Amino acid sequence: MMTLYGAGPQFGLPEASPYVTKTEIHLRMAELPYQKVPAMPDTSPKGQLPYIDDAGERVADSTFIRAHIERKYGVELDAGLDPVQRAQAWAIERMLENQLGWVSAWFRFMIPENFEKGPAHWFDGAPEAMRASLRQKMLENVGTNLRAVGVARHGPEEILALGERSLSALSALLGDKPFLFGERPTGTDAIAFGILAGILTPFFDTALRRKAEGHANLTAYTARMMARFYPEHPWHTPVRANDA
C-alpha cells in the first residue's frame, strides 16, 4: 500500500500542511488506498512535505505526486474539463500555491502569537536545550523564503490586501457552483480547499481569516469540501458579522 508522509492533524485541521492536504484529497478522489505517516520535511527527497512511497518508488512534491498517480493508476482528476478549463485550473493553482499560500504562511509564522501557539510546537519533542534555537532557525528560514518570494517585503496591510485580491478572485471564479469547475470536484479543488481551510481554521486569529469569512461562497465551499473528503473531521461554517 502507498505511504503518504505528511504533517498530520493539527491547528483544528485534518492535516496541517495545505500541500499534504492536496495530495491526500487527490488520493481520496482517485480512491487509492494509502497509509499516512507523520514526517519532518528533511526526510523528503526534496526537503518538503508531502512525499509518497509507492512500492519503493519515492515521489516528492504534490504536483509530481499527482502526475505519478494519474499516470500509474490511469486516473484523470480533471476528466471532463476542456483545454481552456485545464489552462484555467493551472493558473488558479499557481495563484493559490505561489501567492495566497505564502500570504497565509506569513500570517501563520510572522505574527508572533500565531507562531507561538502553532508552528513553534513542532519542536516540543526535541531536547529542551535545543528547542529555542530550532524554533528560531525555522522562523528565520521561513522569513528568508517569504522575502525571496516577495511577500515579506511588504507591510502587514499590503500583505493583507494581496491576500484579499486572491480570495476575491477565487470567490468570483467559484461563483455559485459547488466546485471550481462545476458539479464535480477536480484536481484544483484539492489545493483551493487546503489553503482556504488553513486560512479559515478558528485556531489562528488573523485579519486574513476575517477577509475569507467575508466571502460566503468560500466558507460554504470549504465546509462542503471538508464534509466530502474529511467527513470525520468536525468543522464549522462561520457566520458573517452582517448575516448575524
Ligand X SMILES: N[C@@H](CCC(=O)N[C@@H](CS)C(=O)NCC(=O)O)C(=O)O
47 sits near ligand X (criterion: CB under 6 A): yes
Say whether residue 99 binds ligand X (CB under 6 A).
no
Question: Among 15, 24, 54, 61, which residue sits at the site for ligand X (rule: CB under 6 A)?
Answer: 61
User: CA 226 to CA 144: how far, in whole Å?
Assistant: 32
Choose the binding region for ligand X from 56-64, 84-92, 115-123, 228-236 (rule: CB under 6 A). 56-64
> 150: phi > 0 → left, psi -120 to 50 → alpha, else beta; which?
left
- Please report whether residue 17 would count as binding ligand X according to CB under 6 A: yes
What is the 8-class DSSP label of residue 39?
-
Binding range to ligand X, per CB under 6 A, among 41-49, 72-80, 168-176, 203-211? 41-49
Q: How far is the CB of 214 from ligand X (least distance, A)?
A: 25
Minimum distance from residue 166 beta carbon to ligand X (Å): 17
> Cα angle at 209 between 91 and 161, to 5 degrees?
60
- Does 8 bind ligand X (CB under 6 A)? Our answer is no
Query: Considering the rule CB under 6 A, would residue 150 count as an interface residue with ligand X?
Result: no
Cα dist from 12 to 8, 39, 234, whole Å = 11, 19, 9
- Angle subtended at Cα 50 by Cα 80 and Cα 238, rounded to the nearest 5 degrees: 70
Nearer to ligand X, 145 or 168 (CB): 145
DSSP 8-class letter at 110: S
What is d(CA 102, CA 1) in angstroms, rounded to the nearest whole number? 33
Kindly state whether residue 24 participates in binding ligand X, applying the rule CB under 6 A. Answer: no
Phi, psi dihedrals of residue 38, rounded to the nearest 5°: -70, 140
User: Is 214 among the residues that bind ligand X (CB under 6 A)?
Assistant: no
* Amino acid found at 66: R
Min dist CB 141 to ligand X, Å, is 6
Amino acid identity of residue 16, one-letter, is A
Based on the shown chain and the rule CB under 6 A, indicate whether residue 45 belongs to the binding site for ligand X. no
The reply on whether position 143 binds ligand X by CB under 6 A is no
* 63 part of the interface to ligand X, by CB under 6 A: yes
Q: Which positions touch ligand X (CB under 6 A)?
A: 17, 19, 41, 47-50, 61-63
